[in-house]
Amino acid sequence: MSLTTFGAMMGFAAEMAGRGEELYRTLSERAQDPELKGLFRTLAGEEGKNHALMVRARRENVTEMILEPVAELRPEAYEVNLEVSKLTEDVSLLKAALMIEEREMRFFQDAASKVPLPEVARIFRKAALKKEENLRRLQGLGLSQTLKQRT
């Protein structure tokens, strides 16, 4: 499947954020470290807001633009397929979170350069910047997690 229309791209963005919210809620339930658990809850909330933003942007901006062609994006490059039930340690949960944020950041960066509406491109750029910020937060936490496990 390819994301070759504006409507398909917006639908994928909303779907991706919805899945991210579910994944973070599950990760927060599995995390042992209180700091990690709290960060996952925060990220789940952010994904929920992001989902609502993408749905609203699609509803407000997709009328005749829904079939507007865009340069092809391949959803497989951005999807995160995790078997969360197999993730038992905080370090593996953290790695999963890093993968989620990195892939979503790449999608929003790529989509921002291809979307035909400046308002939506701006939304995607802001989402990409937020994902970049989340990556830094998770990476910083990753260092403390690794140190805690070694002691």
Separation CA 102–CA 110 (nearest Å): 12
Separation CA 33–CA 22 (nearest Å): 19
Q: Is residue 6's pLDDT more than 90?
A: no
∠ Cα 74 99 11 (to 5°): 40
Q: Where are the domains of the chain?
A: 3-150
**Local structure of residue 31 (DSSP, 8 states):** -
Mean pLDDT of the residues in the chain: 83
Q: Identify the CATH homologous superfamily for domain 3-150.
A: Ferritin, core subunit, four-helix bundle (1.20.1260.10)
Q: pTM score, two decimals?
A: 0.82
Contacts of 41 (CB under 8 A, 6+ apart): 24, 25, 28
Q: Is residue 85's pLDDT more than 90?
A: no
What does the pLDDT look like over 18-66, one tens digit per residue?
999 999 999 999 999 999 999 999 999 999 999 999 988 888 776 655 5
pLDDT of residue 109: 95
